Every structure is written in C-alpha cells, then in structure tokens.
C-alpha cells in the first residue's frame, strides 16, 4: 500500500507539471487516503505537502498554507525535525 501511495504522489506531480489540476488533485487526495490507512507519517506529510504545492501552483494560497501546515504538524508529532524544517522553509519562503 505504501508503494501505491508513493506512486500516486508521483503521478499527481506529473499531472501537476502538465497543468492537469483536477487529475493531479485526485491522485494526491487518493495518496493521502491510502497513506492515512498505512499510518506512515512520511507518506502522510508528503501527501499534505504535495497538495499544498498543487494549491500554491493554482494560486490558492490559503489552501496551500493549510495543507503545508498540516504536513508540518504531522512531522512535529513524529519528531521528524529534518522534514519539518524543509516544510517550514516552504511555508516561510513561499506563502
């Protein structure tokens, strides 16, 4: 299941690069759903972060910040300082 979630994140990114927002969002949300079932904080944070970047690209900055903050919180709860700092950089530097 973890591999499926990761693959959906990659596919969602490809759709995002191509500008196919709806397909990208669908992939990212499905990846989030699967990652929550596996309880993998890395994949959950990655899914939230990917949705954040998608909304940033769509210029939906409120939603982007919301999802990036969720990713940050997941990392904080898990004690993943390195990943938490990367997400903080995205929050501070972009939004």
Q: For the segment 13-49, what is each residue's pLDDT rounded down to a tens digit? A: 999 999 999 999 999 999 999 999 998 888 999 999 9
95 pLDDT higher than 70: no
Domain hosting residue 50, numbered range: 2-94
CATH number, domain with residue 64: 1.25.40.10
Residue 90's pLDDT is 66
A 10 A CB-CB count for 19 gives: 10
Q: For the segment 46-94, what is each residue's pLDDT rounded down to a tens digit? A: 999 999 999 999 999 999 999 999 998 998 888 877 676 677 666 666 5
The tally of domains found in the chain comes to 1
């Amino acid at each position: 299941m973890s591999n499926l979630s990761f693959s959906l994140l990659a596919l969602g990114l490809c759709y995002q690069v191509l500008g196919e927002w709806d397909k990208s969002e669908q992939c990212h949300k499905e990846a989030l759903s699967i990652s929550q079932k596996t309880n993998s904080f890395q994949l959950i944070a990655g899914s939230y972060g990917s949705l954040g970047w998608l909304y940033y690209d769509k210029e939906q900055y409120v939603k982007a910040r919301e999802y990036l903050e969720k990713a940050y919180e997941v990392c904080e709860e898990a004690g993943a300082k390195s990943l938490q700092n990367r997400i903080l950089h995205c929050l501070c530097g972009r939004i």
